[in-house]
Structure 1
Amino acid sequence: MCLEQLSFGDLHSSHVTTIFPWSFCQYSREILIDQCKSLLEVFESQWINNIGGGITSTSINEGNGDTHNTSLVIPRPENIYVPQLVNLKKLVIKSCNLLKHVFTFSTLGSLKQLEELMIHTCKAMEVIVKKDNEEQRNVVDFPRLKSLELKNLPNLKGFFLGMNDFKWQLLEKVMIDYCPKMMVFTSGQSTALKLNYMHTSLGKHSLECGLNFHVTRNFHEWSFHNLIEVHMEWKSDVKYVIPSNELLHLKKLVWIKLNDCRNLEEVFEVEEAMEEGLGLELLFREEKEEVIAMKGIDSGLVKSQTVVEIPNLTQVELKDLHNLKYIWKSNHHVRRMLEFPNLTTISIVNCGRLEHVFTSSMVGSLQQLQDLHISDCPNMEVIVRLEGEEFEYDVTVKEIECLKSMRLEKLEALEGFCLGEDNFLLPLLETLEIKECPKITIFSKGQVATPTLNVIDTSFGRCYIREDINHFIKTKLDEVT
C-alpha cells in the first residue's frame, strides 16, 4: 500500500496509540498529525525486528486521571527491519500530549528527502530523536531539511542528546518558541552553513556558532544576548517585551516591530529590581560629569542615575497597540535613563493609551534620529515629556542634529512637541507635517531653530514658514479664532 499523504486529527480514542504500521507510512511524502491525545509514538518502533503478529496490551493515561487498558492487534510480516521513510518530505505533529519523542536514532538514515519538520504543543516531548540502546558515533546527515519548527514544548531538553555530530546542508530556518527546558540543540557538533539566524517568539537572533549553542540557565534567557530583531504580532499574553533584567544584554538589537499585541503595556520594562542583585553597571559619560561638576549638583543624587545604552537599535515600529502606556518608562525612585545613540526611525500608529514618546533626558542621545512619524494616538499629549525637576540640570539647547522628517497626524490631545523651557535646534529638518492636532498651541515654550525648514504641511494645506514654528502655530490659531 502506498499513501503519498497521511493526515490524522482529533483522535481522542484511547485505542489509538500508534498511527500506522510502517508498511503504510514508509512511502508517504507528507504526514500531518493533530490532536491525537492518546498517541504514544508516531511509528511502531516497539515491534521492529519482532517476528510474527501478536497482541500487545498498553495502559494509556489521558492526562485527566483516567487510565484505559487496550489490546491492539496489528498483523505484520514475520521479519520487520528498521523502517525506511525514503519519500517523507514533510512531517507536522501538533497537540499530541503523551508523545515523548518522534524518531529513534535508527530511522534517521532514511530521512534523506525530509524538507520540513514541525512539532507544536506536545507537553511530554523530551527529545525529537531518541537514542537507541546501542550507541553509534556516525555523523547524521539531513541533506534536504530546510525548515525546522519546535513550538510550545515545555519539557523539551534538546533535539538529540547523544554525542553524534549532525550536518544540515540546506537548513535556513529554525524556529524555537517556548521550550523553557532546552539547554542544547545537539550534544555533538551541528554544522548548518546556510543558517544565519534563529527565530523565537521574540524575533530573530544571531547564531555565530550555528546550532552549537549551550545554555547555562535556559533558552529564553540566552536568547536576549543574541537578539537582533524583535517582531511580535497578534500576541495577547504579553505585557512587556524586554524585561528590566535583560536591558544590558541588548548589544545586538537592531530593529523592533510590534503589531496588534492587545495587552502590551510597555516595550522596555524599567523597574527598581533591575539594580537588586543583577550587577547593573553604571555608564556615565564624561561630558555629563563635566556638566554636573560645573553646575555643582549634589553628587549623591547623581550617583543614583544609571544610563543604559541600547547601542545598535535603529528602527522602532509600533502599530495597533491599544493598551501601550510606555515605550521606555523612566524610574524616578532609582534614576534610570535609556539611550539610543543609533536610532534612526520611529513610527507609532494607533496606540490609544500612549501619552508621550520620549522623556526630556533621552533627547540628547537621539543624535541619529532622522524620521519621526506618530499618528492616530488620541491620548498623546506631548512628544517629549518633562521629568521631575529634582533630577534635571539645565541644558541650554537640545539638538536633534539628523532629524529630517517629522509627521504628527490625528493626535487629538497633542498640546505641543515639548511644553518645557528647553530650546530646540533641528538643523536638518526639511519636512514637517502637523495635521488634525486641534489642541496644539505651541511647539515648545523655548526657542525652536529650524534653518532648513521652509514649508509646513498642515490641515489647512502647505504653508510657508516665515519665522519660527512657534510663531507659525500662534498665527494659525489666531486665524482660526
Structure 2
Amino acid sequence: MVENLQQLECLEISECKGIHEIISKEKIIKEAFRTRYLICFPRLNSLKLKGLQNLIGFCHEDYTVEFPTLKILEIENCPQLKGFIHNSTSKEILTDVVLFNNKVAFPNFEKITISNLRNTKRIWYNQLHTNSFSILKKLTVKKCDVLLNIFPLFLLRVFQRLEKLVLIDCVSLEEVFQLQVQGLDIEETYVLNSQLREMNLVRLPKLKHVWTKYRKGNISFENLQ
C-alpha cells in the first residue's frame, strides 16, 4: 500500500477515533518492500494529523521513515501520541515521551505546529536524523502540558534558521532554550548566530527564563525584534 503512495503530495487525516497508527506495523510486515525497513514519501509536502484521539504514532520504530520534500507538519489534539515514530504498544503507558527521534528524516521542514499533545515531555531526541529540521523557519507549540523546555543544548545548532517561535498555554514549560544542563560539564564551546526574529510567549505560568547566560559559548539572538 505504501509503495502506491509515491505521488502523494498532501495528506490530512482528522477526527478518526479508530486510528492508532497511520501506517500499521502488522500490515507492513505482510507487504513486500524493496527496502523492508525504509519507508519514503518522496513527494509529500504537507502532513496534517488532527483530532485523532487514539493515535499513538505515525508508525512503529522498526522502520525508518523519510519525508524528503515535506515542508509543513501539523499535529493537533492527538492526546495519546507516544512519538511520531513510536516504540510502544497501544496499551503501554509511557512516562517520558519524545516526539521526534532519529528514525525519521525531515530535511526540508519549514513549519511545524503541535498542540494538545498530553504525553509529550520533549519535542526532540538528543540525536536527530542527519540534516533534519536544519531549515525549520516557524515552530508553534500550544497546550502541551508536560513540556519542560523547547530546545535542548545539544541541538541548538540544528535550529539556527528558525525565524518565528510561538509558545502558548504550556503550563509546565520552565525554559525555552536550555543553555545549561545541571550536573553536566559541557566541554564544547558553542558559537551560534540565531536567525530568530519573532518570539511570542503566551500564558506560560511556570516559565523561569527564556535562556540563561552560557559561560562556554557565544550564542547570539541579535535578530530578535
Common topology (TM > 0.5)? yes
- Counting aligned pairs with the same residue, the percent is 17
SS in 1 for 2:157: helix
Identify if the C-alpha distance between structure 1 residues 269 and 403 changes in structure 2 by more than 3 Å, giving closer, same or farther. farther
Could you tell me how far 1:396 is from its partner in structure 2?
4.1
* SS of aligned partner of 2:48: strand
- Residue in structure 2 matching 1:427, options 219, 222, 225: 222
Query: Which position in structure 1 is the counterpart of 2:53?
Result: 236
The 1:406/1:390 distance shift into structure 2, 3 A limit, reads same
CA distance in 2, matches of 1:374, 1:314: 17
Alignment of 1:86-97 (within 5 A): none
Partner of 1:349: 142
Q: SS state of the match for residue 210, structure 2?
A: strand
Conservation of the 8 A alpha-carbon contact between 2:38 and 2:64: no
SS of equivalent to 1:216: coil
Taking structure 1 as reference, are residues 383 and 238 closer, same or farther at Cα in structure 2, changes over 3 Å only?
same
Gaps of 5+ in 2: 15-30, 89-101
Alpha-carbon shift at residue 378 of structure 1 (Å): 0.4
User: Counterparts of 1:375 and 1:246 in 2: how far apart (Å)?
Assistant: 33
- 1:320-363 CA distances to partner (integer Å, 9 max, x unpaired)? 22332222222xxxxx2454211000011111111121211211
Counterparts of 1:310 and 1:263, CA distance in 2:
23
CA positional deviation for 1:307: 11
Distance 2:49 2:212 in 1: 33
Decide whether aligned partners of structure 1 residues 265 and 416 sit closer, same or farther in structure 2, where only a CA change above 3 A counts. farther
Structure 1 196/366 Cα, relative in aligned 2: closer, same or farther at 3 Å?
Answer: same
Aligned partner of 2:125 in structure 1 is 329
* Higher normalized contact order (CA 8 Å, seq sep 6+, divided by chain length): 2
1:208-247: CA deviation from partner (whole Å, max 9, x where unpaired): xxxxxxx7339xx876433432211111222234654555
Counterpart AA for 1:326: R
> Contact 1:183/1:216 (CA < 8 Å) preserved in 2?
no
Aligned to 1:408: 201
Cα deviation for residue 199 of structure 1 reads 3.6
**Aligned pair partner of 2:71 in 254, 259, 269:** 254
Residue 399 (structure 1) shift: 2.2
Partner of 1:129: none
Whether contact under 8 Å (2:10, 2:45) holds in the other structure is no
CA distance in 1, matches of 2:82, 2:169: 17
Q: CA shift at 1:394, angstroms?
A: 2.2
Give the direction of change, closer, same or farther, for the CA distance of 1:262–1:396 in structure 2 (3 Å limit): closer
Which of 116, 124, 133 does residue 320 from structure 1 map onto? 116
Residue 360 of structure 1 is aligned with which of 153, 156, 162?
A: 153
Q: Distance in 2 between matches of 1:414 and 1:270?
A: 30
Change in 2 beyond 3 A, CA 1:200/1:233? closer
Residues 381 and 251 of structure 1, relative CA distance in 2, 3 Å threshold: same
Amino acid at match of 1:394: E
Aligned pair in 2 of structure 1 residues 419, 240: CA closer, same or farther (>3 Å)? farther
Q: Is the 8 A contact 1:269 1:329 kept in 2?
A: no
Q: For residues 295-325 of structure 1, give each alpha carbon's deviation from its aligned partner in whole angstroms, at most 9, with x where no partner exists.
A: xxxxxxxxxxx89863101110012223322
Residue segments in structure 1 that go unaligned for 5+ positions in a row:
1-181, 186-194, 203-214, 272-305, 331-335, 431-481
More helix by share: 1
In the TM superposition, what whole-angstrom CA distance separates every residue of 1:451-476 from its partner, at most 9, and x where no partner exists?
A: xxxxxxxxxxxxxxxxxxxxxxxxxx
The residue type paired with residue 398 of structure 1 is: L
1:379 correspondence with 2:172: yes
Q: Which residue of 2 aligns with 1:225?
A: 41
Distance 2:122 2:167 in 1: 14
1:429 and 1:369 mapped to 2: Cα distance?
A: 11
Indicate the SS of the match to 1:418: coil
User: For 1:241-294, what per-residue CA distance to the aligned partner results, in whole angstroms no more than 9, with x for missing partners?
Assistant: 4654555623222211011112124345589xxxxxxxxxxxxxxxxxxxxxxx
Q: CA deviation at 1:374?
A: 0.4
| Residue deviations 1:376-400 (CA, integer Å, cap 9, x gap) | 0000111123458769432243321
Show the counterpart of 1:112: none
Match of 1:395 in 2: 189
Q: 1:357 to 1:387 in 2, by over 3 A?
A: same
**Contact conserved, 1:266 with 1:325, CA < 8 A, in 2?**
no
Q: Give the Å deviation of 1:417.
A: 2.0
Per-residue Cα deviation, 1:407-454 (whole angstroms, up to 9, x for no partner): 111111111123462542012111xxxxxxxxxxxxxxxxxxxxxxxx
How many residues align? The count is 187
**Letter of the aligned partner of 1:393 in structure 2?**
E
- In 2, the alpha carbon distance for the partners of 1:254 and 1:322 equals 24
2:9 corresponds to which letter in structure 1? Y
Question: 1:254 & 1:265 partners in 2: Cα distance?
Answer: 22
2 CA distance for matches of 1:184 and 1:425?
Answer: 44
TM-score by length of 2: 0.67
Residue type of the alignment partner of 1:355: L
Change (3 A) 1:243 1:224: farther
Letter in 1 for 2:150: V
Q: Say which is worse superposed, 414-423 or 240-249, in terms of deviation.
A: 240-249
Q: TM-score, normalised by structure 1?
A: 0.34
Q: Contact conserved, 2:66 with 2:104, CA < 8 A, in 1?
A: no
Task: Tell me the CA shift for residue 198 of structure 1.
Answer: 6.0
Between structure 1 and structure 2, the one with the greater Rg is 1
